Amino acid sequence: MSWPWSQLGLSGPSDLPEIRRAYAEKLKITHPEDDPEGFQRLHSAYQLASRMARQQRRGTSPPEPQAEHLLKEPKPPQPREDDFDEPLRDGGEALRRPCEDGRENFDFDELLQEGEEIFRRSGREDEEQDFDFERLLQDEEEAPHCSREKEEERDWDYEQLFAEGEAERAEARRRRGEERRRAQAQARAWARERQKAQEWTQKREWWQRREEQNTYDRERQDQFRQKQDHWENTEIILHTIEMMYNAQAEVEAWKRFFMSPLFQQTRSSLDLVFGLEDFVSTKDLPQEIKLALFMAYGFDKGPGRPELRPLFQMLLPAWKEKRSRDRQGWKNLFLGLGAAVVMFVLLNVSLDSTAFLGVAAVAAVFGFGLLFLWCKTLIQRFGRRKAGLRMAAGGALVLALILIPSLWKELGGIGLRDMIPARDPREQTCRYITKDFGVKVGSLYNLSEVYANDTYGNVFYLEDAPDSKRFLAGPDDGRDLKNGKPGYTTNLPEMLLLWELKEFAQSHKLEPVDSLDQELEAWETTGTFLITLPIDGGEEIISDLGELLEGLREEKWYRSLASRCELVLCSQEMGEGRVVLIRTQPGLTLYSAEQCLEIYEETFAHKCCAQILKELKLDRDFLSEGEERYILTNEGRAWMKGVECVKLYGLNEDGAVAMEYYIYPKERNIYCVPGNFWDTGNREDQIGFYRLLHWGDRGTYNLFYPWLRVS
């Protein structure tokens, strides 16, 4: 690549527009004030490249730059800014030299010398004055050798290019200054933070040292106060013991003092231990007081510490004597139990043998003697009271043992096996349920290996129908009937009621009562039982249901029905639900058949028929498909076509009778007549079959109307 093109950043000889663009781009980064030498080289390269491009365009081959120019770029002298205002006088003709082949060639040395001469002649008027690039370019475009050809119109604003370059450099300098200022501000902020952190660390260490010193001082003070309190408490305890000994206090007073907080908190003090050793060794204390002191220190489990062993050895004889008395008392207790058993057997066996009666009398006397010893031992063991109280307690115990046979007979039906707690919680639950409800049940889990899995873990059954009557139950924590804790949780009462209602519905040919429990297992229920009533003729069902519930009230399980159990008397399922006659909770409220019959006869049929009219879209002007809905009112019953029908009126917005409805549910006939049908002198025989109405998947109804009567 030759020199002028490399200076402009071009790959080789180019046209004038490309040279101008390259020159303009270079001017943005090469300012004459910042880099005068670079600018001079750039401008010299631009002039030479421009002239070579014009030579090439006129058809004359420009000369190649000399080798010495390719190896070493010219170093022009420092020009003055006003030198660019003077145009080249000779138009560059002197630089052209003829070549041997007849073509013109450029003398680059003379060209550079000419540029130096121009710069030497030009003077600097103002250091801050900018170069007049437009004039410089204009002079070089108006050279004599280019006057014969019109150059292209210039479209480069070099002053603007210099201004943009200067603005970019100023903006860059401003950004660098801002970055330096921000970096300095950040460094100062970090320094302040480090200083604060260092100061805070020093303060925290100072506070920690101060807190440790305060803690050490408090511990020393607490230790001193504890030692002082222990010594004062020791003096108080020893003084109190001396006073109680002199006053001959009772054993109960000694026991209460030894179990008091003052003694218990100070008993580990060695001063107190040494004082008690002196007191016990010098005083003649009763065995009961020594035993109370022995138990206060917990010596029944050993002395614990070596310092307590001397005191333990002093009090040990009282403990041995007490254990000997306890063993004798337990012997008396076992003898008393044996006597009670003998008395129970004798009182429950009826034999006429005189000899047997004599043996029974001797055994009874022996048994009463053993019972007396038992009562005495119990009183001595569990506390002493006055003589009258002890005799009353012994007599009550003997009387209770004599009444055992009668109590046993009152518990008839419960054997000895039932009185012993079962190991299996399911078996124990079965016993509780049998006792509470009077029905024998069993655990399906324990019935066979087929059901021994988690699915049937809480499933139980009635022993008279293990395959069909199953329910849920599970053991609960503790059985306390006084507080309402039976010891188990079960849905047996709800299931028993469900089985009774199923049999009732089946005998009266009604829909199943567990229609809401279709997704549950056979031993589960939601507690809501539906009794489906017909629109007409359901009086017998209501009466029979009242008798059934009245009889079930005598059962034990009926009174255990949960409050969530609910009995609903309703219609069959319609498109928008069911019409409910009454809701009742059997476990809480009493079912009244008379009240249900009254409501059934007055409103049930009309509510059901009104719902049917709404779902069949007959509660409006169905001939002209009007949008106005009629208000349906209960008008009792009336005869139509020889049958008793349910009568309803359809009232319009003005409250006038727009339509009369006569429904005969048994044959599913609906008779509709306009409100003024009878007032205008029409007759019943004008009402004929109109069309068939489809009521979804619940069947059809026959619609009769007077205007379109089928002949």
> Do the Cβ atoms of 550 and 588 come closer than 8 Å?
no
Q: State whether 72 and 88 are in the same domain.
A: yes
Instruction: Give the strand order in the sheet containing 465-475.
Output: 441-443, 459-462, 465-475, 488-490
| Packed helices 270-282 and 158-247: angle between N→C axes, nearest 10 degrees | 10
pLDDT, position 358: 56
Q: State whether 23 and 7 are in the same domain.
A: yes
Using only C-alpha atoms, the chain has a radius of gyration, in whole angstroms, of 61
pLDDT, position 5: 84
Q: State whether 435 and 404 are in the same domain.
A: no
> Do the Cβ atoms of 39 and 129 come closer than 8 Å?
no
Distance CA 373, CA 394 (A): 9
Residue 14 lies in a domain: yes
pLDDT, position 159: 63
Helix or strand holding residue 691 (H, E): strand 688-694
Q: State whether 486 and 499 are in the same domain.
A: no
- What is the mean pLDDT, run by run of 10 residues, along the chain of 711 residues? 79 86 85 82 88 80 46 44 40 42 45 47 42 48 44 52 74 88 91 92 91 88 79 85 86 86 82 84 84 82 81 82 70 60 54 49 60 60 48 56 50 48 79 87 86 86 88 84 83 89 89 74 86 89 90 84 83 87 84 87 92 91 81 92 93 91 93 90 89 88 75 39
Q: State whether 446 and 403 are in the same domain.
A: no
Residue 214 lies in a domain: no
pLDDT, position 647: 94
Strand partners, 380: none
Q: State whether 8 and 151 are in the same domain.
A: yes
pLDDT, position 421: 60
| Packed helices 251-258 and 287-296: angle between N→C axes, nearest 10 degrees | 10
Q: State whether 17 and 79 are in the same domain.
A: yes
> Do the Cβ atoms of 1 and 65 come closer than 8 Å?
no
Structural domain for 430, as ranges:
416-490
pLDDT, position 577: 85
Residue 711 lies in a domain: no
> Do the Cβ atoms of 382 and 397 come closer than 8 Å?
no
Strands 643-651 and 657-664: antiparallel
Distance CA 288, CA 286 (A): 5
- If one counts every other C-beta atom within 10 angstroms of the C-beta of residue 101, the result is 7
As a residue count, the chain comes to 711
Residue 193 lies in a domain: no
Give how many domains the chain has, as a whole number. Answer: 5
Beta carbons within 8 Å of 658's beta carbon, 6+ residues apart: 621, 630, 650, 651, 652, 674, 675
Helix or strand holding residue 673 (H, E): strand 669-674
pLDDT, position 88: 37
Provide the 3-class DSSP secondary structure of residue 103: coil
Residue 690 phi, psi dihedral angles, 5° rounding: -105, -60
pLDDT, position 91: 41
Q: State whether 485 and 498 are in the same domain.
A: no
Dihedral of alpha carbons 411, 417, 418, 420, sign? positive
Distance CA 64, CA 658 (A): 117
Residue 673 lies in a domain: yes
Helix or strand holding residue 188 (H, E): helix 158-247
3-state secondary structure string across 391-440: HHHHHHHHHHHHCHHHHHHHCCCCCHHHHCCCCCHHHHHHHHHHHHHCCC
Residue 298 lies in a domain: no
Q: State whether 466 and 500 are in the same domain.
A: no
Residue 506 phi, psi dihedral angles, 5° rounding: -65, -40
Q: State whether 145 and 35 are in the same domain.
A: yes
Domain end point (choices 490, 505, 533): 490
Domain end point (choices 108, 138, 156): 156
Q: State whether 528 and 561 are in the same domain.
A: yes
Residue 513 lies in a domain: yes
Q: State whether 387 and 507 are in the same domain.
A: no
Dihedral of alpha carbons 585, 591, 594, 597, sign? positive
Residue 302 lies in a domain: no
Domain end point (choices 446, 467, 490): 490
pLDDT, position 435: 87
Report the alpha-carbon angle 246-247-250, nearest 5.
120
Distance CA 460, CA 469 (A): 9
How many Å separate Cα 104 from the centre of its chain?
A: 97
pLDDT, position 388: 46
